[in-house]
Each structure stands twice: as structure tokens, then as C-alpha cells.
Amino acid sequence: MGKRGILTVISGFSGAGKGTLMKAILEKYDYGLSISATTRAPREGEVNGREYYFLSKQEFEDMIANQALIEWAQYVDNYYGTPKKYVEEQLAAGKNVILEIEIQGALHVKELFPDALLIFVTPPSAMDLKNRLVGRGTEDMATIEKRLKRAYEESAYMDQYDYIAINDVLEDCVEDLNQVITQAATILEAGGKFAVEQDFTQLISKIQKELKEL
Ligand code: ADP
Ligand code: 5GP
């Protein structure tokens, strides 16, 4: 049997730049990016089957009932979930797979796949986060406020992740992500367990404090 791929889960506050990073990493490196199902409406420029599978509530609930999702969660006002088939096929074929999902889903994946690598992406500061959300221009202020509040709640879980990547200069963050994933895949293949030496405690406290003040 050939080697299995490594499963990497990327989470991060809404507006941290996860979507932008995923696009950039796929242009440069060979990863399988899982496309999630969601009940939220497509944003301008989003295409069904590319960014997400955009489903009705009924269609989504049918997928849950048919056990077609690895995990699913409710985020702000919508359902989001990871279709099982693609992930299992790609990993079995030896491809390294990335899931870009929120925290509840990430922790659930870790339970199901203990070898999964969990990476949390954050902008350098909470102010950068707010500026990116506002700058993206895809949500109204009320939704942005909800997402910032959610970001503060989510910051309590950052310490559950194996690695924290700071998305300051996009290209640097892409390299950082690829390096960490490659390193973890090598260790996993050799039968070891990935662990970083870096201590993220101070970084987490700083972001938490800033989000609270926002
Ligand atoms: P997410 O998928 O995490 O919600 P996006 O990828 O949509 O975030 O990015 C949010 C906004 O921030 C977008 O307008 C994007 O162009 C911008 N952005 C992403 N990465 C960076 C970066 N490294 N520096 C500055 N702006 C960024
Ligand atoms: P957005 O609406 O900004 O595209 O995504 C909102 C949140 O849902 C993000 O935190 C994103 O990571 C998360 N998300 C996207 N797909 C999935 C999924 O399949 N499962 C879970 N649990 N979260 C997801």
C-alpha cells in the first residue's frame, strides 16, 4: 500500500485571509483542497462547486442524514460541512489534503483523524482583522460586528491548534504554511508525531486582548 496523504485543517477568524491563502498555496503547491457545502448565499464572484457547494437547508440536512459529511457546524446563521467522499479518496491516493473550516469542525476532525495537523491563521493584529473585513466589502457592518464578536469567542480555542500562522505578508505566510505541512507530513511518514517548539502563548494573549477591546 502506498503512503496516505496528511490531512491539514486550517481555521482562523473570518477575514484573516484564509480564502486568499488557500488560492495562493494551490497555485504554487500540489494540495487537494476540500470544497465544503454551505447554506449561505454565494458572495459576488463565488461559483458553485469552486468556493463551495451552495445548498438549500433541505439539501444540507439530507447530506447530514445520509452521513455524507465528515463534520458540519453552524456558523453565525448558516450550516457548513465537509463532504466525506473527496477527502477519503484523496488521502487514500496519497495526496495531502487541506480543509478550511471553523473551530468546532476542526476539533471534531482532530477526534476522527488524530494525525491531522491543525493550523490557525491570524492577522498580525485585531485592527488588521477589522480592516480586512471592512476592506473586503462583502458583509454589512452588522454582520462584520457579529464576525468580530465570534472572533473573540474563537480566540479562546487558539491554543488547541498545533501551529499558529501569522498572515502578514501573504507570500511569506504561504511559504510558512507549506513548510509546516511538509515537515509534519515527513514526521508522520516516519511514524513520529509533529510538535512545534514555538510557544504561542504571548501571541494568543495579545490577539485576545485586542479583540476584546474592539
Ligand atoms: P477569510 O477567508 O479568512 O474570511 P479572505 O481571504 O476573504 O479571508 O480575506 C479577507 C480580506 O483580506 C480580503 O479582502 C483579502 O484580499 C485581504 N487579505 C488577505 N490576506 C491579506 C494579507 N496578507 N495582507 C492584506 N490583506 C489581505
Ligand atoms: P465564510 O462564510 O466566510 O466563507 O465561512 C465562514 C466560516 O465557515 C469560516 O470560518 C470557514 O472556515 C468555515 N467553514 C467553511 N467550510 C466549512 C466546513 O465544511 N465545516 C466547518 N465546520 N466550517 C466551515
pLDDT in tens, 170-190: 999 999 999 999 999 999 989
Q: How would you classify residue 14: left for phi > 0, otherwise alpha for psi between -120 and 50, otherwise beta? A: beta
CA of 102 to the centre of ligand 2 (A): 5
CA of 190 to the centre of ligand 2 (A): 32
- Compute the distance between CA of residue 77 and CA of residue 44 in angstroms, rounded to an integer: 19
What is the CA 175 to chain-centroid distance, rounded?
17
pTM: 0.94
82 lines ligand 2 (CB under 6 A): yes
Residue nearest to atom 19 of ligand 2 (CA): 81
Per-residue pLDDT of the chain (214 residues; tens, 9 = 90+): 568 899 999 999 999 999 999 999 999 999 999 999 999 999 889 999 999 999 999 999 999 999 999 999 998 889 999 999 999 999 999 999 999 999 999 999 999 999 999 999 999 999 999 999 999 998 899 999 999 999 999 999 999 999 999 999 999 999 999 999 999 999 998 998 888 888 999 999 999 999 999 8
First to last CA, the chain: 52
CATH class for the region spanning 7-34+95-213: alpha beta
102 lines ligand 2 (CB under 6 A): yes
> Are 123 and 117 spatial neighbours (Cβ–Cβ below 8 Å)?
no
